[in-house]
Structure 1
Amino acid sequence: MTAPEPTFPPTQAPQPTTGGRQGYLRIATEEAFATPEILKLWLGLLDDPTFDDPGFRSLWSFYGTATAERPRFVLQSLQDLGEGRLAAMDKAGIDRAILSLTSPGAQPLRKDIAKQQATLANDQLAQACKRHPDRFSGLTAVAPQDPEYSAREIERGKNELGFHGVIINSHTQGEYLDDPKFWPIFEAAQALDTPIYLHPNTAPKNFIQPMLEAGLDGAIWGFAVETGTHLLRLITKGVFDRFPRLKMVVGHLGEALPFWMYRLDYMHGATVRSGRYEAMKPIECRPSEYLKRNVWVTTSGMAWAPAIMFCRDVLGPDRVLYAMDYPYEYLVDEVRWQDDLPLTTAEKKQFYQTNAETVFGLPKGDA
């Protein structure tokens, strides 16, 4: 089965190829996989009448049981850590994929099962990276339900499995990482200088209903709202003051926060001065400064030149990285469009290759 490709205006760019002949390698930084074991558990949750997560049900009743071409392609491709995925990368000119356990990961599961599944996913991903060391790199999956386990798994992921970061699929059963009980995760990530990729999840049940009623709960809008809110909570609750060297990577061009930086700074300052909310205390920097200091954004699902160039302008060219969002979004023309960005070859190399090598600590490529 091949990915369905929508019809868009034609591009004059050539078919992308791997190997760096254009002057840079393409490293895709938000590429999803799932183990058969965790998929079975997720589908089992759909059959459990006591499992009360309408966002999860909306998302995985579609990808897990729908018969249309796109969800079938996604479900099949998530489980492929071999030749099918490599062929898709070759077709799109992707030299290396940074792979991570897809949303919601182990996070909706019971704590003991979640730890088992995160460990299993990490072991399976490590084997895939070992089989294809020049094409695959990995991020460590965790079970935030047990922060101490997660901290140990982050250390194992880096020191034993050779992974280059951590994947956390936003909230864990409605709880957000600004709660101090989760801070062992941040302590481990900062100490090991390993970035955390904060990936979207469907919003929790006390947040999702207006979006769900309009069909806006998923990638079209709800993911950005939920994950942007999560990142903003980390900023305004002072997490980056406590962990100033923490590296956070966020997809979809920062889940809209870069476009709000002026208003975030203005209204945050005004709200703190007003004393309106007990939860909003003074922090050391303006919100925009944390976005420029602690956050990197990727272009997953956002292959739109004006938005990419805006983020490069307001965050800095060293803060914007390429991502595809395979297999949820797989369109070869999106690679062509980003090849056509109004950048020099050296700037494209930074965008596609060296920013990822720097942030994730990848081996340096030859292009």
Structure 2
Amino acid sequence: MESLRVITVEEHFHHPEVSAEVRALSGPLPVTPDEGFATFVQDEFMPDQDSAERLGGSRLAHMDKAGIDVQVVSHGAFSPTNLDRPEAVDLCRRVNDRLALQISEHPTRFRGFATIPLHDPAAAADEMKRCVHELGFVGTLITGTCGGRFLDDERFDPVLSAAEAVDLPIYVHPGFPDNSAVAGYYAGNWPAAVQFTFATHGFGWHMEAGVHILRLILSGALDRHPGLKLLSGHWGEFAAGWLDRFDGTFAKTRYLERDVSDYYRDHVWITPSGMYTHNQLNYLLGEVGADRIIHSEDFPYLVRDDVAGFLADADLPDDQRHAIAHRNAEQLLRI
């Protein structure tokens, strides 16, 4: 097998001052803390500073060890993109400027996704365009909803139009569910750490991220914005595995002009986000095809030594292996 170039696209960094401001402005987490909860959150969502805050140093050493040629980097936990306050506009700009500066120090190894202030859709559209045209970014990443609103809300049409105009994708990344959802669905007779995990990276925010994509389909947003391109992590956040079910059930409503799966396969690319299981890879190859899968690790929250090895070991024709490892990202993100 020829040498495998690897590009990963769900990789994160922290702007420490902005993250601290977002935490202060956002108020308490939607979980009643108990003993050990604060330490748990710190360990889960604020990895070691060198890995999280610098693109050089230990991150580059990890990339070399794991076989990663290029990371596409976006802001991680406590991002200002879904902060529902006017301060988000300046905070997002600060994140993007910091990321662009760090990328400029290692221009062959990194690219960036824009962080945009969804609180102000017009400003968000402008910031997306600035990041692409002035900073050289290759798309946008959002983390969940803003003010409880998903991107299908027509107030976000300027954002979707901007993504079409720059012809680059929006990565629909999970974010903290609404407080009422956390209380209603994920609270129970278990410790705060279990509730928080159930609501977020253990299950809840992945389900919500899949709902986010479905809402864009069902709302007609993809008819209004036929050029919109979307990325969905964690093997499609459950939704990618239910396409046949969606087609069979929503066809009975006689509402959509096309099958849900047609919209999905036309507009969505999926990534593994470090969930390196060959059964899932093989299943999703059948559902969406090799040309709709792009590699990712979810660094620094997941640190895998087998980033390149997972694809090298997969039972794939070399053409599909190279498509997933680098070619799809190169084409979609114009890398």
CA drift of 1:336 comes to 2.2
Change (3 A) 1:241 1:77: same
Secondary structure of the equivalent of 2:111?
A: strand
User: Separation in 2 of the partners of 1:240 and 1:116?
Assistant: 29
1:361 maps to 2:334? yes
Secondary structure of the equivalent of 1:140?
A: coil
User: Separation in 1 of the partners of 2:31 and 2:171?
Assistant: 21
2:91 maps to what in 1? 117
Given the alignment, which residue of 258, 270, 285 partners 1:297? 270
CA contact (8 A) 1:170 1:200 kept: yes
1:211 maps to 2:186? yes
User: Separation in 1 of the partners of 2:187 and 2:78?
Assistant: 17
Secondary structure of the equivalent of 2:3?
A: coil
User: Separation in 1 of the partners of 2:175 and 2:154?
Assistant: 21
Secondary structure of the equivalent of 2:231?
A: strand
1:247 maps to what in 2? 229
CA contact (8 A) 1:107 1:173 kept: no
1:283-329 Cα shifts (integer Å, max 9, x gaps)? 22111111100000011132111111211221121000100000111
1:351 maps to what in 2? 324
| TM-score, with structure 2 as normaliser | 0.90
Change (3 A) 1:155 1:63: farther
Q: Which 5+ residue runs of structure 1 have no aligned equivalent?
A: 1-20, 274-281, 363-367
Secondary structure of the equivalent of 1:73?
A: coil
User: Separation in 2 of the partners of 1:294 and 1:71?
Assistant: 30
The aligned runs of 1:223-242 (5 Å cut-off) are: 223-242=205-224
Given the alignment, which residue of 121, 126, 138 partners 1:164? 138
User: Separation in 2 of the partners of 1:63 and 1:94?
Assistant: 31
User: Separation in 2 of the partners of 1:87 and 1:172?
Assistant: 35
The aligned runs of 1:48-63 (5 Å cut-off) are: 51=27, 53-54=29-30, 62=38
How many residues are matched? 325
1:173 maps to 2:153? no
1:140 maps to what in 2? 114
Worse-matched range after superposition: 72-81 or 259-268: 72-81
Secondary structure of the equivalent of 1:189?
A: helix
CA drift of 1:75 comes to 5.2
The aligned runs of 1:89-108 (5 Å cut-off) are: 89-108=63-82
User: Separation in 2 of the partners of 1:72 and 1:330?
Assistant: 14
User: Separation in 1 of the partners of 2:269 and 2:58?
Assistant: 29
The code of the aligned residue for 1:249 comes to: L
The code of the aligned residue for 2:128 comes to: I
1:323 maps to 2:323? no
1:11-41 Cα shifts (integer Å, max 9, x gaps)? xxxxxxxxxx942211011001110111221
2:243 maps to what in 1? 261
Change (3 A) 1:57 1:152: farther
Worse-matched range after superposition: 261-270 or 143-152: 261-270
Worse-matched range after superposition: 81-90 or 322-331: 81-90
2:21 maps to what in 1? 41
The code of the aligned residue for 1:254 comes to: G
User: Separation in 2 of the partners of 1:242 and 1:110?
Assistant: 25
| TM-score, with structure 1 as normaliser | 0.83
Given the alignment, which residue of 37, 46, 52 partners 1:78? 52
Given the alignment, which residue of 308, 322, 333 partners 2:306? 333
User: Separation in 1 of the partners of 2:82 and 2:142?
Assistant: 12
User: Separation in 2 of the partners of 1:63 and 1:119?
Assistant: 30
Q: Which 5+ residue runs of structure 2 have no aligned equivalent?
A: none
1:342 maps to what in 2? 315
Given the alignment, which residue of 22, 28, 37 partners 2:8? 28
CA drift of 1:74 comes to 4.8
Secondary structure of the equivalent of 1:137?
A: strand
1:313 maps to what in 2? 286
The code of the aligned residue for 2:222 comes to: F
